[in-house]
Structure 1
Amino acid sequence: MNHHADHDDFAFEPVEGLPELPPQGEEILWQGRPDWWTLTKESMNLKWVALYFVVLALWRFGTMVDQVNFATAFAASMPLLILGGIVLAMFMLVGFVQARATVYTITNRRVAMRIGAALTVTLNLPFSQIGRADLALRRDGTGTIALDLTDDDTRLSYLVCWPHVRPWVLRRTQPALRCIPDAERIAHMLGEAAEARVNTPQIARRTAAKPSAVAAE
């Protein structure tokens, strides 16, 4: 498979999000990033993390309110809420940095994904190697487009690609354009470009055989 990974964090990008200039005939149709807030909420499970610390604080308050006065019990539960706030702030910072470091690119030939904040990786996924694209759309218009690859020999690391993957699909990692705005329009554009590319006849060139010389008798 034409799968390319570039691990140089400081490599010069002639075009943002691409490790090299597109070859002749290739056109960039769209480039974008995840919505950082949606990405953070989904990939970091912010609601469950917040609920966890709230439940801990309530449990602490409930176990102490029968033994001490209300103010003392409330003061004893506050450190858990403060700790929860710090954890949530750290998660939001990670989500923001991840989104800003990401560039998704759709051309008339492939999907390219420059992902990773600490370890930068660029995935080049030709349309011919994408079997299906599944759209998960949200009410606010953001959505995730998961790419099911046809090459069984290609194994992408879930941890290396996270959070730019289809959640909880571990056996066969599906790279994904995660939490992008206007996702329905982008998915439609991707489908049209992929269909046009796959249906374009490919002309293979080969060198014509040289005529053999036959000795005259």
Structure 2
Amino acid sequence: MSLPANAFDAPPGLPAPLPAGEHILWQGRPCAFGITFRTLHVGLVGAWFVGLVLWAGVPMVAEGQFAAAAITVGPTVALGVGAVGLLALIGWLTARSTTYTITNRRVVMRYGIALPMTLNLPFALIEDAGLRRFRDGSGDLPIRLRSGNRVAYVHLWPHARPWHVSRPEPMLRAIPQSGDVATILARAIAATLEQQEEAASPVIVARRPGAARPPRLAAAS
């Protein structure tokens, strides 16, 4: 039997085709606005340059030295506009080059502007997941890994929970409709844990009269 031409093609955002029994529950990208303002803090950078311009220019303007004020603050304004523009570009590229995927078995994070990287997080490695929502409905979903599983903070950034350097936590950043995505992830993890508990739960083995006495409990396969 011949296979279709795309049988070995990986879906977008995934490093390889999904194995049998695994399917995508959700896939999306972070919001460029959230990456730019909440991760790269472009607002604080812009405010810093505005403060410098006011500090240097306001006294001259108050004395009527408009031309001198323009000459003095001109380089600062140009540098500030360039810095804000560069951060905005990096934020847009970061969002554009990032794909988050939730399947019924794992979380996959594919990111990297120049050197794409893929992080696979099977549900068995996940200890907990949280949600931090913002006013616009977007949110961050940090993922806490079980003890003994660690990913370097430098390799994760900017897809890492801030200030958790000693025990880095991967994080789905600036996810639109984060509440719905968190629900999907929670249900998928719960379903996996339920299946594992059922597979590991003991079952009572019946014994016929006169037969050799079997063990009372046997693990279900």
Q: Same fold (TM over 0.5)?
A: yes
Distance 1:93 1:156, change over 3 A: same
- In the TM superposition, 1:2-81 aligns within 5 A as 14-62=10-58, 64-65=60-61, 69-81=65-77
2: distance between equivalents of 1:79 and 1:171?
40
Deviations 1:7-30 (A, max 9, x none): xxxxx9611111111111111001
Give runs of aligned pairs for residues 115-194 of structure 1, distance below 5 A. 115-150=111-146, 152-194=147-189
Does structure 2 retain, via aligned residues, the 8 Å contact 1:116–1:161? no
Aligned to 1:197: 192
Q: Is the 2:10–2:18 contact (alpha carbons within 8 Å) kept by the matching residues of 1?
A: no
Offset, 1:63:
5.3
Matched residues in 2 for 1:140 and 1:122: separation? 28
Report if the CA contact (8 A) 2:100-2:109 is conserved: yes
5+ unaligned residues in a row in structure 1: which ranges?
A: 1-11, 204-217
Aligned to 1:209: none
Compute the displacement of 1:64 (Å): 4.1
Q: Distance in 2 between matches of 1:160 and 1:55?
A: 34
The residue type paired with residue 117 of structure 1 is I
In the alignment, the residues of structure 2 paired with residue 183 and residue 157 of structure 1 have an alpha-carbon distance, to the nearest angstrom, of 25
Amino acid at match of 1:171: S
Per the TM alignment, residue 202 of structure 1 is displaced from its structure 2 partner at its CA by 3.7
**Distance (Å, rounded) in 1 between the aligned partners of 2:176 and 2:137:** 6
Task: Give the Å deviation of 1:199.
Answer: 0.9
Moved more, 153-162 or 83-92: 153-162
**Aligned pairs, number:** 191
Aligned to 1:98: 94
* In structure 1, distance between residues paired with 2:59 and 2:154: 39
Which segments of 5 or more consecutive residues in structure 2 lack a partner in the other structure?
1-7, 201-221
Which residue identity lines up with residue 102 of structure 2 in the other structure? Answer: I
Q: Which residue identity lines up with residue 30 of structure 1 in the other structure?
A: W
Deviation at 1:67, TM superposition (A): 6.9
In angstroms, what is the RMSD of aligned CA positions?
1.8
Distance 1:155 1:106 in 2: 20
**Partners of 1:47 and 1:36 in 2: CA distance:** 14
Q: Percent identity?
A: 41
> Could you tell me which amino acid in structure 2 is paired with residue 29 of structure 1?
L
Q: Distance in 2 between matches of 1:85 and 1:137?
A: 30
For residues 78-93 of structure 1, the aligned pairs below 5 Å read 78-93=74-89
SS at match of 2:143: strand
Q: CA deviation at 1:198?
A: 1.2
Tell me the SS of whatever aligns to 1:23. coil
CA shift for structure 1 position 31: 0.4
Q: Which moved more, 1:62-71 or 1:115-124?
A: 62-71
- Residues 132-191 of structure 1: per-residue CA shift (max 9 Å, x gap): 1110001111101000001x3222121221111111211111101100100000001100
Query: Helix, strand or coil for the counterpart of 1:30?
Result: strand
How much does 1:107 deviate?
A: 0.4
